[in-house]
Amino acid sequence: MSRRIRALVPAAALVCASLVLAGAGAGATKDTRDVKYGITDDAWLLHGAGTLESRLDELTRLGADVVRFTVRWDQVARKRPESPREHADSAYHWDEVDAVLRGLRRHGIEPVVTLCGTPAWANGGRSANWAPTSDRSFANFAYATARRYPWVQYWTIWNEPNRATFLRPTTVTTYVEKLLNPAYTQLHAVVDGVRVGGGVTAPRAGSSGVAPVTWIRSMGAAGAKLDAYAHHPYPGRPQSETPWGPKCPNCQTIAMADLERLENEVERAFGSTRIWLTEYGYQTNPPEVFLGVSSEQQATYVSSAAMRAYRASPVDMLIFFMVRDDTDPAGWQSGVFTEDGVVKPSYAAFRLPLMQTARRGALVGLWGQVRPRSGSQPFRIRLEEDDRAGWIGGTRLTDPNGFFSLTVAAPARVRVRIWSPRDGAFGHEVLVR
Amino acid sequence: MVAALALLVALGVITGCAHPLSARPACADAILDDWTTGALRATYPADCYDAAIDALPEDLRAYTSAADDISRAAIAASRTGGSARQVAAAPVESETARALPLSVVLLTLLVTVVVASGVAASVIRHRRAR
């Protein structure tokens, strides 16, 4: 242990003791929040390496509270059902969905089910991104799905309907009248306490789409029914944009850096409504040359975004995309595993996020979480400098949701990280400023 | 969503999302390189900006600000005196050249004050010595 670090330990113990006296608990904050963190990767979950059970085990190890999974209407109901509200109708094929959703439930992971994709029989023979011709058909499918999985509490309606890639005609009227409101009514009719997320918007319009700010305002004017507004705040300039900034004050787009704009627009359109961030991530370079950041940066942003969501009081959920990089280098590369299955630093950052929140003199504020399992979790903070290391204080407990905020004495340029004894694992290290 | 898009691409449902990089001219590639490194400037012919935007894959359009940034650079190029081609031809030194007179004036002023002070001090010392 270096002299510098050795000198810190008694000071840190004193500081932590004062925190306890101040009522902060053994490393836990008083004003804790219950933000759910998750991950989404349908392709990996359905067809990834190993068995479905091994993939679910991996999600458990990661500590995902929620997993977003898309139930494709066009794949479950390739043929028109005779009794569309009966989930047992022979036209419905639930096998893959059953396996995933029931597996998640068995592992104690809450699914966030996205209903999406129109079968050809429901939209005049067009592709799956075309809206159904009748507002009844999607409502019936939502009803049947909810009857089959009545224990699913979180639902989102469609995906990025503000982009023509996913919804045509790309209009709020189509989305609200043909999809969102009919499904909302049916889901609430079946599931007690269900939460339905609407919007599910992309961060920008893309080709022939609608910017999210315009979309939110129009949804409010159209009388959209929702319990939460869902959005995908991908960064606009990943190489230079953190989850906190720079902001884009007059933009119609909404990235994580502009989370306050999302909060304001949602409040204005729908009143006091919760916010779900149902897709987010940074790609890594290599292999993504144009959009990628380094693996270390990605890990830092995973922790940073987690804290950003925690501190935004209307936000209930943050879901990262994806588990494992695309095998195609031109695909998406924001996984916590490389395409070859090698663990990236973001794996540790997802499981045991840690961020420096402030510095006042010799004191440094830390925020973090032990994500696996539920309830208070034991943890320690490790301080490292060059090839030497030491612990700050003893084992502490997180709050009941796994979070902690504490103040320790630490000089600049040392590295700190979480140790989770129950996981036998360290988190991603933070370089103290 | 990226997730669904990735799945669709993986399943071969959508093939038009990944625009081949080779489809764009070299200057459009250079613009994208500049955007990637955060160094996008108004120094290219107007056609290059158009080509760069046209060649953007859908995921860059939807999940980054590349199209907006390149459009802004194209507008800036068109505003900076005629066509972007002329801007590209105009040497960067011209900006420096416009800035030089002020620097030179200030520097000259400073040197004059220092020299004058030195001369004055020398004269005063010389007179006192007498």
Task: Give me the residue from B2, B57, B64 closest to A236, CB to CB.
Answer: B64
Same domain, A14 and A136: no
* Closest residue by Cα to residue B80 from B95, B70, B65: B95
| Contacting residues of B for A75, CB less than 8 Å apart | none
What percent of chain B is modeled with pLDDT above 90? 5
| Contacting residues of A for B5, CB less than 8 Å apart | 165, 332
Select from A326, A350, A374 the last residue of a domain.
A350
* Dihedral, CA of residue A265, residue A268, residue A272 and residue A274, to nearest 10: -20
As for how many domains chain A has, the answer is: 2
pLDDT tens digits for range A216-237: 999 999 999 999 999 999 999 9
> Is the Cβ of A328 closer than 8 Å to some Cβ of chain B?
yes
Same domain, A90 and A69: yes
Select from A350, A385, A406 the last residue of a domain.
A350
CB contacts under 8 A, B 91-130 vs A, are: none
Region A308-314 average pLDDT = 98
pLDDT at residue A330, rounded to an integer: 80
The tokens for A66 are 């929620």
- At A274 the three-state DSSP class reads strand
Beta strands in chain B (DSSP E): none
Region B16-41 average pLDDT = 69
How many CB atoms sit inside 10 A of residue B16's CB? 9
Measured CA to CA in angstroms, residue A240 lies from A246, A274, A292 at distances of: 8, 29, 11
Same domain, A135 and A163: yes
pLDDT at B15 over 70: no
> In sequence order, what are the residues at sequence separation of 6 or more whose Cβ sits closer than 8 angstroms to the Cβ of residue A228?
A195, A196, A197, A198, A273, A274, A275, A276, A316, A317
Average pLDDT, chain B: 64
Residue of A nearest to B19 (CA): A330
pLDDT at residue A30, rounded to an integer: 53
C-alpha to C-alpha distance for A398 and A403, rounded to whole angstroms? 5
pLDDT at residue A9, rounded to an integer: 43
* Closest residue by Cα to residue A373 from A110, A111, A65, A102: A65
Same domain, A43 and A23: no
Distance in Å, alpha carbon of A106 to nearest chain B alpha carbon: 24
Side chain identity at residue A387, one-letter code: D
Same domain, A24 and A54: no
Same domain, A248 and A200: yes
Give the CATH number of the domain where residue A305 resides: 3.20.20.80
Residue of B nearest to A116 (CA): B4
pLDDT at A26 over 60: no
Same domain, A92 and A26: no
pLDDT at residue A95, rounded to an integer: 98
> Is the Cβ of A111 closer than 8 Å to some Cβ of chain B?
no
The residue among B5, B63, B71 with the most chain A CBs within 10 A of its CB, best to mutate, is: B63
C-alpha to C-alpha distance for A350 and A339, rounded to whole angstroms? 18
C-alpha to C-alpha distance for A287 and A324, rounded to whole angstroms? 13
pLDDT at B96 over 50: no
* Closest residue by Cα to residue A293 from B111, B37, B13: B37
Give the CATH number of the domain where residue A26 resides: 2.60.40
pLDDT at B118 over 80: no
Same domain, A199 and A287: yes
Same domain, A373 and A259: no
A12 phi/psi in degrees, rounded to 5: -65, -40
pLDDT at residue A166, rounded to an integer: 96
pLDDT at residue A23, rounded to an integer: 32
Question: In terms of residue numbers, what domain contains A127?
Answer: 36-350
Region B5-21 average pLDDT = 36
Q: Report CB contact under 8 Å: B68, A237.
A: no
β-strand pairing of A354-360 with A363-369: antiparallel
C-alpha to C-alpha distance for A231 and A197, rounded to whole angstroms? 9
Same domain, A290 and A340: yes
Q: What is the pTM of this model?
A: 0.82
- Comparing B114 with A417, the larger pLDDT belongs to A417
Same domain, A8 and A67: no
> In sequence order, what are the residues at sequence separation of 6 or more whose Cβ sits closer than 8 angstroms to the Cβ of residue A325?
A284, A287, A331, A332, A333, A334, A335, A337, A338, A339
- Do the beta carbons of residue A372 and residue A63 sit within 8 Å? yes
Task: Give me the residue from A237, A251, A279 closest to B3, CB to CB.
Answer: A279
| Contacting residues of A for B38, CB less than 8 Å apart | 237, 239-240
Q: Give the helix ranges, DSSP H, for A121-211.
A: 135-148, 172-174, 181-190
Instruction: Tell me the pLDDT band of B38, cut-offs 50, 70 and 90.
Output: confident
- Comparing A143 with B77, the larger pLDDT belongs to A143
Same domain, A177 and A85: yes
Select from A324, A350, A376 the last residue of a domain.
A350
Q: Report CB contact under 8 Å: A332, B62.
A: no
